[in-house]
Structure 1
Amino acid sequence: MKRVDVTYVLLFDELGENVLMVKNQGKKGSYYTLPGGAVEPGETLEEAAIREAKEETGLDVEIGDVFSVCEAFVEERGHHAVFFTFRGKITGGEITISMPEEIEEVTWMNVQDAEEYIHITGNTKGLIKRSESAPYLLRKRSDITT
């Protein structure tokens, strides 16, 4: 199976009541997710999350700590996918759809409804609003000893 890393960004509105979601066009129909997508070769997780958020929403974002990490085996594609979701903050831009062939809609969704679409294993009710998170650290290759 091929390993595929995917990043998402959890973004709240100014009041912290709504989550920014994108409606993707898939082969089996439309579905909502957080803004995000696959990490490209040579790209860090942070760079991928920032790029994907911009491509899908038109917004400039700053990445914070890790909200969640989960993985799945996508048998029909032959992928072992690892999903990294970061907390983020909007720093600029305007909501636009630059890839209408992939994204149908960019919308603010209340937290309770958004929880239905954010697939994290276990009981996730109320998880979005909790403040606990883990730091994202990028270690330089020169800092790693073997």
Structure 2
Amino acid sequence: MKRVDVTYVLLFDEPGENVLMVKNTGKNGSYYTLPGGAVEPGETLEEAAIREAKEETGFDVEISDIISVSEAFFEDRGHHAVFFTFRGKITGGEMTISMPEEIEEVTWMNVEDAEDYIHITGDTKGLIKRNESAPYLLRKRSEKD
């Protein structure tokens, strides 16, 4: 199985009542997720999260910490996916859909509804409003570990 790393960014509106979600086009119908996508070769998790948020929503973001790490096996694709969900903040840009072949809609969704779409292992109800996280640390790149 091929390992695929995927990053997502949890972004709140100014009052902290709504979460930015994207509606993806899929073979089996449309579905909502946080902004995010696959990490490209040579890209850090942070770089991928920032790039994907910009590509999918039009917003410039900065990320702070990781709120969740989860994984799934997609037998039909031959993928072992590891999902890294970051907490982020919008720093600029404006809401746009630059990839209409992949993204149908970018929308603010109330927290309770968004929790139904955010796939974080365990009991997720209330998780995205809690201020729990783990730090994201990028170890210096080197030839030896």
Moved >3 Å (runs of 4+): none
The question of 1:125 aligning with 2:125 is answered yes
- Distance in 2 separating the partners of 1:84 and 1:36: 10
Aligned twin of 1:105: 105
Aligned twin of 1:26: 26
Aligned twin of 1:45: 45
Aligned twin of 1:15: 15
Give secondary structure in 1 for the equivalent of 2:128: coil
Give secondary structure in 2 for the equivalent of 1:60: strand
In the TM superposition, what is the alpha-carbon distance from 1:141 to its structure 2 partner? 2.3
Give secondary structure in 2 for the equivalent of 1:128: helix
- Distance in 2 separating the partners of 1:122 and 1:73: 17
Aligned twin of 2:95: 95
Give secondary structure in 1 for the equivalent of 2:3: strand
Give 1:60's aligned amino acid. D
Q: For the aligned residues, what is the CA RMSD?
A: 1.0
Give 1:139's aligned amino acid. R
Give secondary structure in 2 for the equivalent of 1:26: coil
Give 2:111's aligned amino acid. V
Aligned twin of 2:55: 55
TM-score, length of structure 2 as denominator length = 0.98
TM-score, length of structure 1 as denominator length = 0.97
- Distance in 1 separating the partners of 2:67 and 2:33: 15
In the TM superposition, what is the alpha-carbon distance from 1:120 to its structure 2 partner? 1.2
Give 1:20's aligned amino acid. L
